[in-house]
Structure 1
Amino acid sequence: MPAESDEAERITDELFAAMERIGQVHPFAQGMGTAASQIGIGRAAPVVQPPGDAPAIILLNPRITDRSDDVDEQYEGCLSFFDVRGLVPRPLKITVETTALIGEIVTTVYERGLARCIHHEIDHLDGLLYTARMRTGVDPIPVEEYRQTGRAWAYE
């Protein structure tokens, strides 16, 4: 960056297009995201769409630089395992450094559900799926069983 800004914009356009296609097939009440590596692009670029009308978050070369000791455990879904959900512990707050299109390093603190979504997508860049974060002995459950738990995210 900024020499690669045109390429970064092309990649983010592809990510948004992929999310649009996915969103037509399945609505994600807690927000959704996708990482470039999930759609065959070898770049460190995820996009996260928070729930509601909040603007999408584009993360170029993201790096988690700090995380809270406070952790909670919530069910997560993933495009890699469309039909199951897993109970995943994650920090309630993370600090993320990204690169802006003009080359500037930007540091942002994310909390609660947004921290969870962003951490999930950054994990993809490191080759991790949420199953790698689940506690030993805890397995993913079918979506139908998850719906019976009544455990939708309840962040305030």
Structure 2
Amino acid sequence: MSPSNPVPVSGTLSLEQQICYAMHTTVRAFDAVYRELLAEHGLSYPQYIALMGIGEHGPMTVSSLGEHMRLDSGTLSPLLKRMEVAGLVARSRDPEDERRVLVSVTAAGRARLAALQDMPQQIAARSGLSREQMLALHETLRTVTEHLDRRSG
């Protein structure tokens, strides 16, 4: 079929009815808001969540950060290098196992995190959801993720 002759689809195959498409468009909308809000802090969204993860969990190995963020080392390593150049994180060899690299937040990184303390409130306000709705959505998404992870092995 040519693009000018679309294939008719039933309601269940309609793009607008797909949960994956709803999630995709929501993530894209969140990305745009985060991009705008984080630009003034010189961070991308992946850098923001990496900084939060390292700040929350203390020094951690790059591999454990990758597992936490669901990013492979090929994506995470360049991200951390840029953050290290910016002075936000420090990387060092693990004294217990020289093959592992530890990443920690620097004083500048802690200051950046402090400047970002109101980010959740800004996101919530832009979402149009109440605090209760945001908490319920968060719980629903965590539940879906856990079930999908169990099913995918």
TM-score by length of 1: 0.26
Q: Which of the two has greater strand per residue?
A: 1
Structure with bigger gyration radius = 2
Q: Quick one: higher RCO (CA 8 Å, sep 6+), 1 or 2?
A: 1
Q: Which of the two has greater helix per residue?
A: 2
